[in-house]
Amino acid sequence: MKQKWQQMLAIVVIVSACAPAAGAVNFTVGANYWPSTWSISSFPVLVAEGWQYGDVYGEDHWENASSLDITGAGLYGVNGLITFNSPWGIGFTLLRGSFDFEIDQTFTAQIGNVTSTTLYQLEFGVDRTDLDLALNYRLNNNFTAFLGYKSLSYSYGEQTMLLSQTHVAPWGRRDDVPAPQQIASYEINYHGPGVGIAGSLPFGPSGLVFLGSVSFLPYFMAVESGRVDKLSDDTGWAVNAETGFAYVPGNMPFFGRLSFRYQRFDGFAMADVDMNENQNFQGPLLLVGVRF
């Protein structure tokens, strides 16, 4: 997280220093709040069944935790934009948020004449940090194209896992309730280039503006640190879409924006298993800012 703030500060300093020489005409800075929901299509968990009951053996295998519960207060952060006496501009956004994960699910397997029931419970927290950089080109008064780079980091906190099992066979029943296990924290960073276009349509002289944008990241790559098991697939793609309204009064430096943002990250696997996942983030986004 400290590194992300250092990167953003360096960008702001460099751009601010270069702006006068380039003839900067406008500098804006804003604060964002995005109370987004996070949904995951699959979250693989390793059900450890290294047991023997009679002459029957259980084998470890992967399951999809369909009962994954994710809660969080959303993402918040800052953004800035510098435009020049030309169609070119430079923008950045830094967002950060925390989420809590909880899995409480039962898996049942029939192995020979033994029915094995596994209760899988897992709790952990995740910090998400986004850093977006973009080079903008104004096509006309209503449309802007941009070329950007995105860095998305997930910091998974220490996890507490409880895996208890019940084995039922014709000759009896056995319950295995081991002590909870602690899984060390780790981090995954996704990064890659992207392209997009943004548009705006004013509504008369009132300062109300309808806006929308869409961007596509064709190639995302994941870099891991601190993991015991490696990702089975560390590349994917992403798309971001946003639409809403802004209020930009002509006689005041302040402005505001209320929109709805949707993000989709596709093609990644969260564990060393061939089970690709899709991650979706969506929700309203509030921005307030000032122009200098």
- Residue-wise pLDDT for 47-105, tens only, equals 877 788 888 888 888 888 888 889 988 899 999 999 888 899 999 999 999 999 899 99
Q: Where are the alpha helices (DSSP H) in 152-199?
A: none
286 compared with 250, residue with greater pLDDT: 286
The tokens describing 168, both together, are 């039922």
The whole-angstrom distance between residue 244's C-alpha and the CA centroid of its chain comes to 21
Highest mean pLDDT among 1-10, 13-22, 98-107, 230-239: 98-107
pLDDT, one tens digit per residue, over 243-282 is 999 998 878 889 999 999 999 988 666 655 656 678 889 9
Q: To the nearest whole number, what is the mean pLDDT of the chain?
A: 85
- CB environment 49-62: b (16+ within 10 A), e (fewer): bebebeeeebeeee
Q: Whole-angstrom Cα distance, residue 45 to residue 124?
A: 13
The answer to whether residue 220 scores a pLDDT higher than 90 is no
The answer to whether residue 191 scores a pLDDT higher than 70 is yes
pLDDT tier for residue 13 given thresholds of 50, 70 and 90: very low
The answer to whether residue 111 scores a pLDDT higher than 80 is yes
Q: Cβ(123)–Cβ(160) under 8 Å? A: yes
pLDDT at 269: 61
Tell me the average pLDDT across 175-201: 90
pLDDT at 231: 66
Q: Which amino acid type is present at position 95? A: L
The tokens describing 13, both together, are 């300093």
**Domains of the chain from N-terminus onward:** 2-41+71-100+123-157+186-291 (2.40.128.90)
* Locus of tokens 């000032």: 290
Q: Whole-angstrom Cα distance, residue 189 to residue 226?
A: 12
Percentage of the chain beyond pLDDT 90 is 45
pLDDT, one tens digit per residue, over 118-143 is 999 989 899 999 999 999 999 998 99
pLDDT at 200: 93
pLDDT tier for residue 17 given thresholds of 50, 70 and 90: very low
Is residue 3 left, alpha or beta, with left meaning phi > 0 and alpha meaning psi from -120 to 50? alpha
